[in-house]
Homo-oligomer: A and B are copies of this chain.
């Protein structure tokens, strides 16, 4: 996956762009960041990539095809960021779990354009099954982390993994999309979204009985 054959400032590109797909994605992301998930057109992305309006048709069926590719790459990036945050559950599951939540928010803040392409672009998952699959792989990082955390619990108190994973997803997603996103739709609150999520997850884990009572700090 190389950039322009002859990249670098001041270089001339020839008849072939060399990396139009990536250039279109990059252009679309910048436009989304400026104007929201509906804020770009096929022609505009082509113009921003320095290419004729017909060129994108060599790579994408239509605007939705480009959008789906963006969402796909978004979920892939998301998966790797979440995996890195979880880091195999080291040094212990609870610490890593907290990092995972912060990783979710960090992504929403750092990549608002990807975030809205993934969750708010209105793409049909049926039309783009590979996007759905990529989304599931991201979810699996959360689910595996929940499974690891559940492993540390006494057997008779263990909740269903799927339920807990969906709960944690909804919590992180709720905070991210209401308070932590890096765009104009963020609602201001008098505390950091990270602290808010941390507190919520800790209370939730207490409710599950993950932490021993003796470990609970006074609230």
Name A residues whose Cβ lies closer than 8 Å to a Cβ of B: 35-39, 119-120, 122-125, 135, 157, 159, 162-163, 166-167, 169-175, 177-179, 183-185, 187, 189-191, 196-197, 199-200, 202-208, 219
- Cross-chain contact B196 with A166 (CB below 8 angstroms): yes
List 27 A–B pairs whose Cβ atoms lie within 8 Å, in order of A's numbering.
Answer: A38-B122, A119-B185, A120-B120, A122-B183, A122-B184, A122-B185, A123-B185, A124-B184, A157-B219, A159-B219, A162-B190, A166-B179, A167-B196, A167-B199, A167-B200, A169-B174, A172-B174, A173-B174, A173-B178, A174-B175, A174-B177, A177-B177, A203-B204, A203-B208, A205-B207, A206-B207, A206-B208
Chain B's closest residue to A36 (CB) is B122
Q: Which of B35, B123, B162, B170 contacts A175 (CB 8 A)?
A: B170
Instruction: For A202, list chain B residues within 8 Å (CB).
Output: 207
Q: Are A200 and B162 in contact, CB atoms less than 8 angstroms apart?
A: no
Rounded to whole angstroms, the CA-CA distance of A69 and B33 in the bound complex is: 24
B167 adjacent to A170 (CB under 8 Å) = no
B184 pairs with A166, CB closer than 8 A: no
* A34 CB, nearest partner CB in chain B, Å: 11
Contacts of A167 in B (CB 8 A): 196, 199-200, 203
Q: How far apart sit A206 and B200, CA to CA, in the bound complex (Å)?
A: 12
Which residues on the B side are within 8 Å of A190 (C-beta)?
162
Docked Cα-Cα span, A208 to B202, in Å, equals 10
Determine the residue in chain B with the shortest Cβ distance to A186. B125
Specify which of A170, A175, A184 lies most central, judged by the most chain B CB atoms within 10 Å of its CB: A170
**CA separation between A150 and B203, bound complex, in Å?**
15
Kindly name the residue among A157, A197, A208 whose own CB sees the greatest number of chain B CB atoms within 10 A.
Answer: A208
CB atoms of B166 and A189 under 8 A apart: yes
